Amino acid sequence: MADPTGRDAVAAVWRIESARITGALARWTGDFALAEDLAQEALAEALVTWPRDGVPRHPAGWLLTVGRRRAIDAFRRRRALDERYAALAHQLGEGGAATGGDPAGGHATGGDVLWDPDRVDDDVLALMFVSCHPVLSREAGVALTLRVVGGLTSDEIARAFLVPTATVQARITRAKKTLQASGVPFAVPPAEERRERLGPVLNVLYLIFTEGSSASAGGAVLRLDLASEAQRLARVLSRLIPGEPEVNGLLALLELTAARFPARVGPDGDPVLLERQDRRRWDRSAIRRGRAALSRAARSGRGLGFYGLQAAIAECHAVAPSVEATDWDRIVLLYEALGSLAPSPVVDLNRAVALSMARGPTEALAVVDGLVAEGSLAHSRLLPAVRGELLTRLGRLAEARGELERAAALCGNERERAVLERKLADLDEGAG
Amino acid sequence: MKYMLIMRADDEALATMVNADFDEVMGTVGRYNDEMIRAGVLVAAEGLDSAADGVVVDYSTEPPLVTDGPYGETKELFGGFYILNVASKEEAVEWAKRSPMTGAGFKTEIRRITSIDEFPQDNEWIRKERTWREATGQL
């Protein structure tokens, strides 16, 4: 039974409201870093008060009021008798419970409401853009997004990334200082800059998802929560910027990738490779949502981008009844497109795998040998693992063994190494 | 975690709904739905047609008794449901508390949606069900 006054109830309200509260406070104070502090202070007060007095009737309003009161205290403490303080004191002294000024705009009319439903979307969008601002490091962007937009606590973020809480707190503090020092305004970028600035936002969501989806050991459950948080934020973003194909492309990629999660880990906890996955375990509703997002992306007519192309590849797998019945020719083409858009040896390697499925191992081996000659991926287990696989299929078993052994030696993840070792064992059986 | 929010109302509550201004009801319910969509938690939502057009099969007799429309003795009727994907039961509760369908006689029941994974996987009927769900795109 849910305890309505408990800590969990506060956490639930916080998860729903934190972005809008921080956003409204940021718009009102014109200061993102301060707003984040104020929102956290309001949360701390809720954690003390709600379990004692009960959850207020309008939790969001309560948190906002506390945040705003703390803001006034902070301004008073600073004795900052600047324009901002004067403007705020004037407007708030009269004490309309729901009114606030627009100190950033400088033309406050007093009619501006702090909690303006029409501006909530913009506030949340601005939070996303500021949290993922290019002046921040990726780790900082990830931590700030999860905390400010996702409503996760520092503890939760720390647990998800397997780092100490103090590290997360330090990252957030530093990120806020960096934003302040760089004079990053709290605003949705103007239309002409938006597409450019969207890149880091999508990248941060993708990183959060990847971190959550690469879990195969230790704290696995929470990391899946992280992946689903990234999905949720991508859904929010696609709703806030509906016309942007890459946003829908990313959402599609996350949904279609997550659809395979239920089949990715075997009963023994070992990762299950795509060709061995029980496709009946794939999440059909996630596949439907992913395909819908992908067709929205495609409809823009501007072509699929980095995420959209990957989503299209994921879709090929999602709709195929088996590995054999997969449209590998299309996957090869999609990897070619991806490779020309964002050249990378990993993409080439994946294209080689798809080629081997579409046209056999010989052609694929040529691509892989090209990568070896270039010296790409020299320290990755992926290259020898794929090469070993292709050589196995070509019957060059001695060479295959050497490659698979090298891959196992380079593999840092125990579970994955077990898979490679099983392949080696199969090789021995096949040879004997 | 998926939860189902089952919207329930008794006869009197439903009667007040019928008298309410249609646009106003659409507006408040629409805003509520929109809020859940904005928050990225809404997975599905369906409304049910009038219980008067439904049928009840009662098993307390042999053979079972089939009667038309509303649920006989039961006063509370299901009006529709939401399926939310949220982080905790408390979050589902919090969304339910925000429903505009409030007042005497209105209730929301919150139930976690189980997954087929929670059943014994070696059972042949579970395997069959999986095949069916897969084929019909509803797993």
Domain boundaries, chain A: 1-85+140-181, 344-431
Taking CB atoms and an 8 Å cutoff, what residues of chain A touch B90? Answer: 2, 6, 8-9, 11-12
Identify the pLDDT of residue A283: 86
CA distance A150 to chain B (A): 10
Domain with B26, as residue range(s), is 2-136
Identify the pLDDT of residue A296: 94
Q: What architecture (CATH level 2) is domain A344-431?
A: Alpha Horseshoe (1.25)
Q: Say whether residue A9 is in contact with chain B using an 8 A CB cutoff.
A: yes
Q: Which two tokens stand for residue A177?
A: 């200082």
Most distant pair of Cα atoms in chain A: their distance:
89
Q: Which of A220, A113, A244, A85 is nearest to A159 (CA)?
A: A220
Identify the pLDDT of residue A428: 79
Higher pLDDT pick, A145 / B124: A145
For CA atoms B47, A1, A227, A133, the dihedral sign is positive
Average of per-residue pLDDT across A404-412: 86
Kindly give, in sequence order, each residue whose CB lies less than 8 Å from that of residue A55, ignoring residues fewer than 6 positions away.
Answer: A4, A5, A9, A10, A13
Q: Which residues of chain B have pLDDT under 70?
A: 70-75, 134-139
Quote the CA–CA distance of A177 and A223 in Å, as a whole number.
Answer: 28
Q: Is the pLDDT of residue A96 over 70?
A: no
Cβ of B90 and A8 within 8 Å? yes
Quote the CA–CA distance of A3 and A61 in Å, as a whole number.
Answer: 21
Between strands B2-10 and B42-47, the pairing is unpaired
Q: What percent of chain A has pLDDT over 90?
A: 55
Do B108 and B27 contact (CB within 8 A), yes or no? no
Cβ of B139 and A284 within 8 Å? yes
Do A38 and A73 contact (CB within 8 A), yes or no? no
Q: Which of A12, A121, A240 sits opposite B88 (nearest CB)?
A: A12
Q: Is the pLDDT of residue A37 over 60?
A: yes
> Domain holding B61: CATH number?
3.30.70.1060
Beta bridge partners, B76, equal B10
Mean pLDDT of chain A: 85
Overall residue count recorded for chain B in this entry: 139
Give the chain B residue whose CA is nearest to the CA of A8: B90
Identify the pLDDT of residue A108: 35
Quote the CA–CA distance of B48 and B80 in Å, as a whole number.
Answer: 5
Domain count, chain B: 1
Quote the CA–CA distance of A254 and A252 in Å, as a whole number.
Answer: 5
Exposed, middle or buried: residue B57 (CB in 10 Å: 0-12, 13-18, 19+)? exposed
Q: Say whether residue A12 is in contact with chain B using an 8 A CB cutoff.
A: yes
pLDDT in tens, A290-328: 999 999 999 988 889 999 999 999 999 999 989 999 999
Please report which confidence band the pLDDT of residue A258 belongs to, taking 50, 70 and 90 as the band edges: very high
| ipTM exceeds 0.85, yes or no | no
Please report which confidence band the pLDDT of residue A105 belongs to, taking 50, 70 and 90 as the band edges: very low
Identify the pLDDT of residue A91: 54
Please report which confidence band the pLDDT of residue A100 belongs to, taking 50, 70 and 90 as the band edges: very low
pLDDT in tens, A151-207: 998 998 988 888 899 999 999 999 999 999 999 999 999 888 888 899 999 999 999
Report the amino acid identity of residue B72.
G
Full DSSP string of A298-343: HHTSS---HHHHHHHHHHHHHH-SSSTTS-HHHHHHHHHHHHHHS-
Q: How many CB pairs under 8 A join A and B?
A: 71
Q: Which of A269, A282, A306 is nearest to A419 (CA)?
A: A269
**Cα A385-A390-A391 angle, rounded to 5 deg:** 95
